[in-house]
């Protein structure tokens, strides 16, 4: 049986991955002093979300990929699980939209360069867009926050052409962000998107 040409059905050279899926987005948040809500705010939120990934890179050696990636997760009409002002329950807040993003370098390692099992991780700049938020008929403006984050994941890919593979990816993303208090209020969010299950298409 003739062996396939070098580089065919092998994870080496140029790398492009696109992935799309679903997940769960949760966050813990707070503000030491919120004029909009009248005191110190703490809370949590959560709900279903959509997930996306776009990564570009190359292989310094077969099976090892280095590059840069964009990782996104977001959901609409999410509600708080806990919302307290000065330590007292203060009803429920609904967010029209909550989304997070991570942009930075990544590593993706295939245990066998000709097979499909792999693990990946990324670290970089993170951001969140939260709101507008409505409580008791009062709407608070959208917040944009920045910080740092990371993602880890793994999965399996099946070859569907000489350089293309189709796979499933289980991923988790964490970000820690804050705003710059330019509106007189400083907010911080720690958000975890997990589990995220994505269908991936990879060229390599």
pLDDT digits (tens, 9 = 90+) for 84-126: 999 999 889 999 999 999 999 999 999 999 999 999 999 999 9
Q: How far is CA 107 from CA 56, 64, 110, in A?
A: 11, 7, 10
**Contact call for residues 199 and 21 (beta carbons, < 8 A):** yes
Position 75 in a domain: yes
Q: For the ranges 3-17, 34-48, 102-116, 149-163, which has the lowest average pLDDT?
A: 3-17
Domain hosting 94: range is 15-203
Amino acid 107: pLDDT: 98
Instruction: Using a pLDDT cut of 90, give the percent of the chain over it.
Output: 79
Tell me the CATH number at 30.
2.40.160
pLDDT over 70 for what percent of the chain? 95
Examine residue 1 and state whether it is found in any structural domain, yes or no: no
Residue 10 in any domain: the answer is no
**pLDDT tens-digit series, residues 145-196:** 999 999 999 999 999 999 999 999 999 999 999 987 666 688 999 999 999 9
Question: Would residue 98 count as lying in a domain?
Answer: yes
pLDDT category at 4 given cuts 50, 70, 90 is low
User: Rounded distance, CA 113 to CA 157, Å?
Assistant: 11
**Does residue 157 lie in a domain region?**
yes
Cα pseudo-dihedral 185, 190, 195, 197, rounded to 10: 60
Classified as helix, coil or strand, 53 is strand
pLDDT at 182: 61
Mapping DSSP to helix (H, G, I), strand (E, B) and coil, where does residue 184 land? coil
Structurally, how many domains does the chain consist of?
Answer: 1
Q: Is pLDDT of 138 > 50?
A: yes
Q: Mean per-residue pLDDT for 121-150?
A: 92
Model confidence at 72: pLDDT above 70: yes
**Domain membership flag for residue 7:** no
Listed in sequence order, the DSSP H helices in 22-112 are none
Mean predicted confidence (pLDDT) in 26-38: 89
Whether residue 4 is contained in a domain is answered as no
> What is the pLDDT at residue 6?
57
Mean pLDDT of 69-83: 94
**pLDDT reading at 1 higher than 70:** no
Inside any domain, residue 184: yes
């Amino acid at each position: 049986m003739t062996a396939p040409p070098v580089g065919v059905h092998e994870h080496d050279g140029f790398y492009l991955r696109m992935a799309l899926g679903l997940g769960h987005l949760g966050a813990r948040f707070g503000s030491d002093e919120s004029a909009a809500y009248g005191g110190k705010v703490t809370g949590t939120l959560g709900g279903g979300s959509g997930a996306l990934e776009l990564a570009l890179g190359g292989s310094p050696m077969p099976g090892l990929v280095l590059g840069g990636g964009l990782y996104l997760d977001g959901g609409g009409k999410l509600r708080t699980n806990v919302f307290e002002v000065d330590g007292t329950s203060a009803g429920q807040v609904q967010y029209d939209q909550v989304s997070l993003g991570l942009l930075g370098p990544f590593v993706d390692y295939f245990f066998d360069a000709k097979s499909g099992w792999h693990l990946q991780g990324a670290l970089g700049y993170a951001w969140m867009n939260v709101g507008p938020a409505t409580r008791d008929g009062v709407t608070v403006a959208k917040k944009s926050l920045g910080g740092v984050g990371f993602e880890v994941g793994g999965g399996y890919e099946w070859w569907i052409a000489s350089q293309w593979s189709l796979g499933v990816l289980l991923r988790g993303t964490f970000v820690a962000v804050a705003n710059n208090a330019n509106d007189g209020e400083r907010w911080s969010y720690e958000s975890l998107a997990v589990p995220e299950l994505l269908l991936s298409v990879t060229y390599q």
